[in-house]
Amino acid sequence: MLSVIRVLSGSTSAIDGCATFFRRDRFAHVKKYDVEFNKAAQSLTEAIIPPAQKRSALNRLVKDNIALIVVLEAKFGNQPTDASGKRQLICVANTHVNVQQELKDVKLWQVHTLLKGLEKIAASADIPMLVCGDFNTLPGSAPHSLLVYGKVDPQHPDLLVDPLGILRPQTKLTHQLPLVSAYSSFVRSVMGIGLEQHRRKMDLNTNEPLFTNCTRDFIGTHDYIFYTADTLMVESLLELLDEDGLRKDTALPSPEWSSSHIALLAEFRCMPRTRR
């Protein structure tokens, strides 16, 4: 599955798309949803923004970011079936949220828009969910809080940035999906050999990796794998990279690592089906 708005090559700016790849011998494609934040921004602007402010509102909200949601059906034999004989379904969402740090309202609105779409899918089917991507937001930020806690503290400083009033009322910034960060859940439960080595690569205040993005002028965590904890459990995770090892080439990307972001990978097991 591939969804791309467009890519401007040979330019200092590029508009990013999202891609979700799957093995056709393991999964069958059931459905795909494109979440085009540009279209959602246009609808929002028409609904709540006064005519005199529509142009400036669109300039702020239209950033060419998207999310891609796919529903897959397991084809391999050891996956459980329900009473009707249907195989396990799984919903995978992938997104690239706006990078501009000053647009805190836009970031939060994009994440909330994605979550509302996922809630509609969850309401129609009891289905495990993965929510992955480059969220361009740090642990503890309003978008991260919304994802992991299902709400945002009304006193959160990110909420002070809302010139268009798109986050009001703030009580609407909620969702009911039981999302947990894969790396966060693992650091709380991991035991035995390798524990200290793993913990050294984690921020124990946030239980997230110390970094997923490492450039010359920034190091921090922007990328996450979230999952619905009532339907999936983490089996294993790809080991995180060490900053000292990366810094031998100054920063990312490097001759050894082709991206400014490190790879995150998790293996999950579907839990026995129970109605929520």
For the segment 28-39, what is each residue's pLDDT rounded down to a tens digit?
Answer: 999 999 999 999
pLDDT confidence band for 191 (50 / 70 / 90):
low
Residue 132: pLDDT over 50 = yes
Q: pLDDT band for position 17 (50/70/90)?
A: confident
Which pLDDT score is estimated for 254?
A: 86
More confident residue, 77 or 268: 268
Spatial CA neighbour of 97 closest among 11, 208, 223: 223
3-state secondary structure of 159: helix
Which of 239, 136, 137 lies closest to 183 in space, CA to CA? 239
What are the sequence ranges of the domains in the chain? Answer: 2-177, 182-210+231-276
Please tell me the pTM assigned to this model.
0.90
Q: What is the pLDDT of residue 246?
A: 82
Q: CATH for 2-177?
A: 3.60.10.10
157-175 pLDDT tens trace: 999 999 999 999 999 999 9
